[in-house]
């Protein structure tokens, strides 16, 4: 009988470089995001048009902080910022926030499956 050795195996992750939005080289700052859980995915559904279900972009902004699994943003004392602090900084830069959301939402398995159907 197979033994599950890594409970995180198979969970989609994406690394998004964002340094350019903070006056740095693009790869100097990054965030890494995981795919949404089933509950998060259900909360993202925009059911206003049953003929063409889609992702509610406004709700994406609410769940992204929970999906951040790693980043390299540091405070002045070189301690790691919280996920909320990182997302709050990113949201202050609309281009950066849209870049992150677009990269994440276009690459999560659910979106890829919809694109091939």
Residues 6+ apart with CB under 8 A from 4: none
pLDDT tens, 31-70?
999 988 888 888 877 666 555 556 666 788 889 999 999 9
Residue the block writes with tokens 């003929």: 51
Residue 59 is predicted with a pLDDT of: 82
Look over the chain and give the mean of its residue pLDDT values, rounded to a whole number: 83
H or E element that contains 32: strand 30-34
pLDDT tens, 65-87?
999 999 999 999 999 999 999 99
Residue 49 is predicted with a pLDDT of: 55
DSSP 21: G
The predicted model gives 90-104 an average pLDDT of 94
C-alpha distances in Å from residue 56, one per residue of 26, 39, 45, 63, 77: 28, 14, 6, 11, 37
Percent of the chain with pLDDT over 70: 77
Identify the residue with better confidence: 53 or 109: 109
Residue 72 is predicted with a pLDDT of: 97
Nearest residue to 109 (alpha-carbon basis) of 41, 18, 43 = 41
């Amino acid at each position: 009988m197979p033994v599950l050795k890594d409970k995180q195996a198979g969970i989609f992750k994406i690394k998004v470089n964002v340094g350019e939005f903070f006056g740095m080289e693009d790869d100097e700052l990054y965030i890494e995001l995981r795919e949404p859980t089933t509950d998060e995915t259900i909360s993202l559904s925009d059911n206003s048009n049953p003929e063409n279900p889609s992702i509610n972009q406004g709700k994406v902004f609410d769940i992204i902080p929970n999906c951040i699994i790693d980043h390299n943003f540091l405070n002045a004392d070189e301690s790691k910022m919280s996920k909320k602090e990182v997302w709050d900084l990113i949201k202050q830069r609309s281009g950066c926030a849209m870049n992150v959301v677009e990269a994440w939402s276009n690459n999560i398995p659910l979106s890829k499956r919809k694109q091939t159907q």
